[in-house]
């Protein structure tokens, strides 16, 4: 619970940075605002003096934090926390339970020291958990993208389900899988390697809290950077529902993950695929560290407790 309370503001800022539109689209610039509307002129030769910037455009993490706090209030930084907490329980239970069970099953077939076990077990367990909680992920993204009441959210989602069916709640599932499955594979592979290296270095048979914490933070950071482009695509595809139903913006044609990536690169360059990298790192590194160190400590504690219980006459 403490982990989610600490990292949710960073997740909100990351989502806003990824979902925001470019304030100066190619070939256009905003030159004047009278308080009611923006006047746009086409800048073919780039000579126009553009000084107006949309207030919702964020220059970076700190700028987003200040503007969201000033304009919407400090509580907006915890938008989407209820579905995040609801989503955390089934995700964590499914994910870690499946990982442990799959790891043990694969060890009996491939050998205890096979280095590909964390990759296979992590990928399969994440695939299952992502599929189960994908609708909650969709709702959480909507609530973080704009300040939205539960009544507005219900109206938005129900109208979409009535139009496109229940499968619309799994919008962004493919890009989420492309983000989370490789993330999980890299995370567990690097975590197990870092853990073994550090245990060997200090001569410990089991990972201490510090070893698990450090290994989790390092492996989480590496995986977060590599999979960030898929996180950007997921955010943009899921926010389309909010734009369509609430802002009455015509729904864009369904395109593949790779097509969305090409559009992002064409509009904002390669840097567009790594929008929100700083808040994502500040969110993922401590979250992974706290989660895995708590998990390892709990597993070790209950394992020793069971041994003591079994040794009693």
- Report yes or no: 161 and 169 within 8 Å, Cβ to Cβ: yes
Structure tokens at 283: 């969110």
pLDDT tens, position by position, 283-295: 888 888 988 988 8
pLDDT value, residue 54: 44
pLDDT grade for 28, boundaries at 50, 70 and 90: very low
The structure tokens listed for 27 are 């070939």
The answer to whether the pTM exceeds 0.75 is no
Q: Tell which wins on pLDDT, 76 or 238.
A: 76
C-alpha pair distances (Å), 66 with each of 84, 138, 275: 23, 26, 18
Q: Where are the domains of the chain?
A: 1-77, 81-171, 205-312
List the structure tokens of 14. 């990351």
Average pLDDT, the chain: 76
With beta carbons less than 8 A apart as the criterion, state whether 141 and 239 touch: yes
pLDDT score recorded for residue 66: 86
**What's the pLDDT band for 241 if we cut at 50, 70, 90?**
low
Share of the chain above pLDDT 70, in %: 74
Which helix or strand (DSSP H or E) is residue 80 part of? none
User: Looking up tokens 């919008």, which residue turns up?
Assistant: 171
The two three-digit tokens of residue 81, written as one number: 């926390």
Cβ count within 10 A of residue 118: 23
Provide φ and ψ at 12, rounded to 5°: -65, -45
Among the residue ranges 113-122, 151-160, 245-254, the one predicted with the least confidence is 245-254
Region 125-134: mean pLDDT is 86
Q: What percent of the chain has pLDDT over 90?
A: 15
Q: What is the pLDDT of residues 55-78, one digit of tens each?
A: 467 777 788 888 888 888 888 888
């Amino acid at each position: 619970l403490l982990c989610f309370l600490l990292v949710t503001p960073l997740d909100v800022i990351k989502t806003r940075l990824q979902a925001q539109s470019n304030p100066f689209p190619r070939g256009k610039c905003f030159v004047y605002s009278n308080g009611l509307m923006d006047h746009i002129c086409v800048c073919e030769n780039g000579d126009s003096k553009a000084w107006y910037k949309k207030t919702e455009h964020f220059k970076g993490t700190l700028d987003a934090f200040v503007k969201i706090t000033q304009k919407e209030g400090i509580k907006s930084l915890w938008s989407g926390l209820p579905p995040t907490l609801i989503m955390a329980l089934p995700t964590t239970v499914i994910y870690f339970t499946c990982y442990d069970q799959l790891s043990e099953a694969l060890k009996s077939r491939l050998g205890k020291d096979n280095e590909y076990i964390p990759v296979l077990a992590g990928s399969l367990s994440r695939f299952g958990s992502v599929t189960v909680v994908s609708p909650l992920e969709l709702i959480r993204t909507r609530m973080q993208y704009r300040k939205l009441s539960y009544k507005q959210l219900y109206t938005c989602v129900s109208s979409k389900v009535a139009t496109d069916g229940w499968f619309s709640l799994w919008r962004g599932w493919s890009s989420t899988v492309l983000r989370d499955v490789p993330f999980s594979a890299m995370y567990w592979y690097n975590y197990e390697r870092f853990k073994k290296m550090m245990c060997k270095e200090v001569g410990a048979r089991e990972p201490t809290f510090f070893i698990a914490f450090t290994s989790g933070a390092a492996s989480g950071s590496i995986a977060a950077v590599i999979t960030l482009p898929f996180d950007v695509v997921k955010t943009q595809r899921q926010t389309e529902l909010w734009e369509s139903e609430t802002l009455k913006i015509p729904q864009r044609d369904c395109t593949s993950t790779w097509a969305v990536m090409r559009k992002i690169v064409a509009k904002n360059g390669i840097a567009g695929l790594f929008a929100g990298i700083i808040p994502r790192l500040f969110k993922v590194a401590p979250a992974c560290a706290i989660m895995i160190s708590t998990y390892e400590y709990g597993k070790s504690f209950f394992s020793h407790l069971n041994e003591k219980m079994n040794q009693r006459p």
